[in-house]
Structure 1
Amino acid sequence: MARHIAHRLMISLPVLLGVLLIGFLLLQVVPTDPATVVAGPTATKAEVAAIRQQLGLDEPLWIQFGRYLGRVLQLDLGRSMISNRPVVDEIALTFWPTVELMLACLVWAVPLGIALGTLAARRRGTLIDRAIMALSVMGVSVPVFWVGLLLIQYVGGAGLLPFQGRNGPIWTPAGFLSIILPAVTLGAVFVGPVARMTRTSLLETLGADYVRTARAKGASDWRVTIRHALRNAMIPVVTLVGLQIGFLLGGSIVTETMFAWPGVGRMAVGAITSSDFPLAQGAILILAVGFMMINLAVDVLYAYLDPRIARS
């Protein structure tokens, strides 16, 4: 298992380097000059030129990127142009709220999707199956912002739950109440794909020889489904969950902005809007590393569900 994880980490390094390069180049084509942002609107051309030289912006791009890469390797992401605080400190303030939101979304959406998909597979062709699949298609088709607007208007607007800001950590009563609407918004579009994939994969597994053997030994249908078929049906589901979590990182930006949730996604939008390039680069880097760690966790789950993968 350790060798499998080390191999995956080695594969991830070129991807991380590519993300750093793309994020660096994308912010170079933004029309706003970072030196102008730092100098302020009243600065003279000489002051702007001096700041450009101080920041190294007058150097060729490959030299700028080399210096940026060297700072990243030392865990130095620079300082925010707006707050003049280290980017690492800014990210530390917003990282845990984003983790809370992702966990609060996954903790109900994934089990519910698997349960609905399992029920649909066991009741194939019935009204229950058709109803679950209809809800799944609707969930896939509905955009995140539309769900959020409905919840804000009819739940938050009615005073049933708070819908602006984070009122504390998730383990406190106020923090738990404040995360419900963002977590439901983000997870509502997650249940449908998981349910559909679980149903499809489980239907294929239920026709396998070992499932028929378990039934011939006298095991009940639900026992065969849960103990024998479901685990082997989970590999495609885990793949989908890993990919969907990557999309959740994008959806969390919309959700955090709508609910004023102080996470990394909202911080990245604010940094790009205010032309705070070091903070924007740091946010992009953290989101990319998060996506890579999710993929690594998915690979480890592969090896757990099917030990042949770890030995290959």
Structure 2
Amino acid sequence: MRLVLGRFTHNALALLAVTTILFFMFRLMPGTPLAAFINENLNADQQQAMLEQFGLDKPMWQQYFIYLANLLQGEMGLSFFQRRPVMTILLEVLPNSVILTLTSLIIAYIFGVVAGAWLAWKRGTWIERAAVPAVLATRAAPEFWIGMVLLAVLSFNAGWFPSGGASSPGMAYSSNWDRIFSLDYVHHLALPVLTLALYLQGLPLLLMRSNMLEVMHEEFVTMARMKGLSEWRIVIGHAARNALLPVVTAFALGVGLSMGGNVVIETVFSWPGIGRLLVQAVSVHDYPLAQGAFLMIALVLALMNFVADLLYMVLDPRVSHGRKG
């Protein structure tokens, strides 16, 4: 319990540091958030009233403590540009980012675990020599480049998938959940998911392959061979189970990291998620919305980092007893 509380405290302090940096970073940026609203027809009194409306007339240190107090109450302020609560705007696009991230990660990790175990089994063959450079190439290639190639081939040339957005023009749905569970939504989701899955599959595949190569020389694998078990049963039933520990914890961390890295994918495919919303908010100096989007991503990352720590302690008790050892 002491170790769990320590991990939780570290993540909470990290979130506080991120919140502080974001608050002052946006306010020290050049430009003013009211440039989109203030024009020649507004006199000095009207401009001052607008500053008071958004709370920008107070000293910066006072704005900071007001912002922290509002955060503790689940309030992220009012969007300068959309004139709506930031939390409402974020909750509207959060399902799109979560669906894109989780779908891509599940596909990438299922493929990576199976393919990594298979490549370890095929150690030293031409299959491994051809597959490993291909995996490294997809991992090293920028996300936007993979997305642009898939757009050019599968969307613009073949016409199999839409080029962007989350629904076709003219489509109307009774609720956001009806839109999410529609075939049109899945059709628009396919290409961003494929792009992100191609980029993400390299880590679990190489990690699984490396772990498998180490586990295959353990004594329990030798004992399984002496019992006369088939090679595939040894690989899947014995070696793979013991090689999954780092992959499971990497999956939890991957959720948080992918939420932050989806900015590029969502921008390339015009996907209405938190990443694209963040880019739009920064471009119009919408401080509360940009801070809220950044903070939401940091919160998910910290939460999944905490979950990864818990998973590692549960799956490997040596971690929780490390100090005693």
Judge same fold: TM > 0.5, yes or no. Answer: yes
Question: Quick check: 1:43 aligned with 2:42?
Answer: yes
- Fraction of identical pairs, as percent: 35
**In 1, Cα distance between the equivalents of 2:220 and 2:42?**
76
Give the equivalent residue in structure 2 for 1:16.
15
Q: Distance in 2 between matches of 1:10 and 1:135?
A: 41
The residue correspondences of 1:244-255 to structure 2 (distance < 5 A) are 244-255=254-265
Rate the CA distance shift 1:38–1:278 in 2: closer, same or farther, 3 A. Answer: farther
CA shift at 1:49, angstroms?
Answer: 3.2
Quote the offset at 1:104 in angstroms. 1.6
Aligned residues: 311
Gaps of 5+ in 1: none
Alignment partner, residue 127 of structure 2: 128
Distance 1:39 1:164 in 2: 33
Q: What's the offset of the Cα at 1:100?
A: 0.7
Q: Residue 36 of structure 1: CA displacement?
A: 4.2
1:118 aligns with 2:117: yes
Could you say which residue in structure 1 is the equivalent of 2:283?
A: 273
Moved more, 135-144 or 297-306: 297-306
Residue by residue over 1:216-262, the C-alpha shift from the partner in whole angstroms, topping out at 9 and shown as x without a partner, is 33333222222322233223333444444444234311111111111
> Which of 247, 256, 281 is matched with 2:266 structurally?
256
CA apart distance, 1:94: 0.4
Q: Distance in 1 between matches of 2:236 and 2:313?
A: 20
Query: Cα distance, 1:132 vs. partner?
Result: 1.6
Assess if the C-alpha contact under 8 Å between 2:266 and 2:273 holds in 1.
yes
> Counterpart of 1:221?
231
Per-residue CA distance 1:49-104 (angstroms, 9 max, x = gap):
34334544343332221111000000011111111111111001100000010112
- Provide the residue aligned with 1:82 in structure 2: 81
Moved more, 5-14 or 249-258: 5-14
SS in 2 for 1:284: helix
Distance in 2 separating the partners of 1:54 and 1:259: 36
1:160 maps to which residue? 160
Does structure 1 residue 197 correspond to structure 2 residue 196? no
- Residue 219 of structure 2 corresponds to 209
Q: TM-score normalized by structure 2?
A: 0.87
8 A Cα contact 2:256 2:297, kept in partner: no
Conservation of the 8 A alpha-carbon contact between 2:119 and 2:128: yes
Shift of 1:163: 2.6
Contact 2:102/2:255 (CA < 8 Å) preserved in 1?
no
Report the more deviating stretch, 145-154 or 234-243.
234-243
Partner Cα separation in structure 2 for residue 51 and residue 96 of structure 1? 33
1:282 aligns with 2:258: no
User: Does 2:162 align with 1:175?
Assistant: no
What is the Cα-based RMSD across aligned positions, in Å? 2.2
Tell me: CA distance 1:109–1:170, structure 2 relative to 1, closer, same or farther (3 Å). Answer: farther
